[in-house]
Amino acid sequence: MLSQLSPAIRQYLVVTGNYWAFTLTDGALRMLVVLHFHQLGYAPLEIAFLFLFYEVFGVVTNLVGGWLGARLGLNRTMNIGLGLQVVALSMLLVPPEWLTVVWVMMAQALSGVAKDLNKMSAKSSIKLLLPSDAQGRLYTWVALLTGSKNALKGVGFFLGGALLMWLEFAGAVAAMAVVLTLVWLLSLVLLRQDLGRAKAKPKFRDIFSKSGPINILSAARMFLFGARDVWFVVALPVFLSQTLGWNHTQTGGFLALWIIGYGTVQALAPRLTGKSEGRVPGGSAAVAWAAALTLLPGLIALALMLGMDTQLSIIVGLLLFGALFAVNSSLHSYLIVSYAGRDGVSLDVGFYYMSNALGRLLGTLLSGWVFQWAGMGSEGLQACLWISSGSLLAATLISLKLPRDTQLSSSSR
C-alpha cells in the first residue's frame, strides 16, 4: 500500500515517523528528570539548571543546524539528531552516584542539540515536499506535523511518569534508548539523500536572517514560548506534586493529557483560522490570537489570589490556555514555513527556531528562579503567571509589525 503513495507523501511519512519517535523520548525524558530529581530533594532552581544546557544548546543548534541542513541535506541533520539522542539517553545509564547536576546538564545539552536538529529538519522538509503555490496544503501539513508531535509529547510525559514507577529511572532510560536506536537505523535507510540541500553552498554568515517578516515573527515567537515555559516547565509540575499532593502518575498523566489536547487543537488550527473558507492566515490572525491568549495567565493568577478553588482554577485555566496557545503555535509554525525561501529553507527555519529556543531558555530559568524566590507555593505560581501575561503582551505588540498577507516572495533572504 505504501508503494502506491507519491514519493513526497512517503518522505513526509518517514519524516513524521522520525519526529514522532524522537518526541516520545524527549517528552518522557523531561518528565523523568523533573520528577526523579525532585524526588531526590533537588530545589526548583536546581531542576531548572538541569535543563539550562538543553535550552542554551538549542539556541546555538538552530542557528548552526539550519546552515548545516542547507549544506549537507536535511536527511543528515535529522539522522544526526536521532543518533545524538541515543547518546544522551545512554549518558544517563551511569551509576546513580555519577548523576550529578553537571553530568545531567551535559546529557541534556546533547539532547537539546538532538531535539532542535530533528525539529528544524522536520519542519524545513515540508516546505520542499509541496509546490510553492500550495499554501493551503502547506498549512495543513505543518499543522498535522506540529499537532501530532505535541500530542505524542503528551504521551511521552505520561510515559515518563509511568516508566519511573514501573522500571525506575535507569530501566526507563534504557528502554527508550533501545527503541530509538531501531528508529535511527530505519531512518538511515529510508530517508531521501538530497532532501533540503541548497543549490549554492551558503556561507556561515548566512545563518542570520535578513528578512524583516522572519525577524519579527522570530521575536514574537521568543516571547510566546517564554510565556508558556515560565510557569509550565518547573513551577507547575512541582506545584502539582508538592502543593496539591499529586503523585508522579497523576502529575505526568495530567500534563500528558493537556499536551495531547494541545496537539489535537494544533492539528485542527487550519479549520479554526479560516482554511475551510478558502483563506490562509496572515499577520493579523497572529495578532488576534496572541491578544486573546494574553489575558489567561493573569486570570488564573487572579483566581488563585482571590482564594477560589485552587485545583479547579488550575485545571480550567490550563485547558483554556492550552487551546489558545495551540492555535498561536500552529499559526506561527505555518507562517515561518510560508515566509521561508525554498532554496536553503533550513536557514530561515533554523533562525526562527533559535528564537523559539531562546524563549524556552529564558522561560525555564525564570520558572525555577521566580517560583523559588516567590515562595514555592501559590504565590510562586502566581508570580510566574503574571510574568507569562507580560510576555504574551510583548508577543502581541511585536506581531502588529507582521505583514497582513502570507503570500511573500519565494526568496525571503
pTM of this prediction? Answer: 0.76
- Residue type present at position 386: W
Determine the pLDDT at residue 392: 97
The x, y and z cell numbers of residue 41, run together, are 530533594
Helix, strand, coil % in the chain, rounded to nearest 5: 80, 0, 20
On the 0-12 / 13-18 / 19+ scale of CB atoms within 10 A, 133 is exposed
Please name the residue that has the C-alpha cell 530509538.
180
Query: What are residue 275's phi and psi, to 5 degrees?
Result: -65, -35
Determine the pLDDT at residue 409: 37
**Residue 237 near residue 251 (C-beta atoms within 8 A):** yes
Query: What are residue 85's phi and psi, to 5 degrees?
Result: -65, -35
> Would you mind telling me the total number of residues written for the chain in this entry?
413
**Which CATH class for the 2-399 domain?**
mainly alpha
Q: Please, what's the b/e burial string for 280-313 (b: 16 or more CB within 10 A of its CB; e: otherwise)?
A: bbbbebbbbbbbebbebbbebbebbeeeeebeeb
CA 99/CA 113 separation, integer angstroms: 20
**Residue 62 near residue 343 (C-beta atoms within 8 A):** no
CA 374/CA 376 separation, integer angstroms: 6
CA 384/CA 271 separation, integer angstroms: 32
Q: Please, what's the b/e burial string for 223-233 (b: 16 or more CB within 10 A of its CB; e: otherwise)?
A: bbbbbbbbbbb
The x, y and z cell numbers of residue 270, run together, are 487550519
CA angle 166, 23, 164 (to 5 degrees): 15
Number of C-alpha atoms within 13 angstroms, CB side, residue 153? 21
CA 67/CA 345 separation, integer angstroms: 9
The x, y and z cell numbers of residue 234, run together, are 518547573
Determine the pLDDT at residue 133: 66
Q: What is the pLDDT along the chain (413 residues), one digit of tens a residue?
A: 556 666 767 777 787 788 888 888 888 888 888 888 877 888 776 777 777 788 788 788 877 877 777 777 778 888 999 999 999 999 999 988 888 888 988 998 899 889 888 888 877 777 776 776 677 778 887 888 778 877 887 788 778 878 888 888 899 999 999 999 999 998 888 876 666 565 555 555 555 556 788 889 999 999 999 999 998 878 888 888 888 888 767 877 787 788 888 888 988 888 887 665 566 778 889 999 999 999 999 999 999 999 899 899 999 999 999 999 999 999 998 898 888 776 656 677 878 888 888 898 899 888 888 888 887 788 889 999 999 999 999 999 999 999 876 544 333 33
The conformation of residue 209, written as its DSSP 8-state character, comes to -
